[in-house]
Amino acid sequence: MKEVDYMLETERLTLRAWSETDAESLYAYAKDPDIGPIAGWPAHRSKEESLNTIRHVLNGKECYAICERGSNDPIGSIELKLNGHTDMTDRDDECELGYWLGKPFWGRGYMPEAVKEIIRHGFVDLGMSAIWCGYYDGNLKSKRVQEKVGFVYHHTCDEVPVPLMHEVRVGHVNILTKSRWQTLAAR
């Protein structure tokens, strides 16, 4: 899968590489119609589909399974999409953040916690100068996570193709620069 397997930790979470053995856990959350469609991908229909997703989608160098500390079972996913794997930037020193969390874990502050750690990793360990993040119109939970961790509005695209859902949506794009992140971290 990955050439280098990093593990990142927060107070309550572990972010680790996805493994093919995670297919059952992925399917348990990804089959929920409240998870994928709002993020632009259809709910999973089988464990085999989840396994295929681990093999071909969740295999990026900076893609992590989100696990509660003390458990190895994924409850969500978070990724920094590097140059060549994002449509938000073509710069080597910028990347795009994507994430989702299983519905039973909503409202616990897990996603802002995971996002803060991967942002730190992006700026400190990977040397990024900016991290981009977006959400589709109506995904207020994702918007709120981005606001909580310091992203600022950049622009809106009125006609964003969402090929996996066979739709066109309104997409909002936010940015967090390293200098803004450093200012917020110093507070």
Contact predicate 62/18, CB 8 Å:
no
Question: Would you call 31 exposed, middle or buried from its count of C-beta atoms within 10 A (0-12, 13-18, 19+)?
Answer: middle
> What pTM value is reported for the model?
0.94
Contact predicate 4/16, CB 8 Å:
no
Residue with the larger pLDDT of the pair 4 and 100: 100
Residue 86: what pLDDT?
Answer: 81
Who's near 92: CB < 8 A, 6+ residues apart? 82, 83
Residue 5: what pLDDT?
Answer: 58
3-state DSSP assignment of residue 147: helix
Is it the case that residue 4 has pLDDT exceeding 90?
A: no
Average pLDDT over residues 83-111: 92
Average pLDDT over residues 103-131: 97
**Percent of the chain scored above 70 by pLDDT?**
97
**Could you report the per-residue pLDDT of 12-60, keeping only the tens digit for each?**
999 999 999 999 999 999 999 999 999 999 999 999 999 999 999 999 9
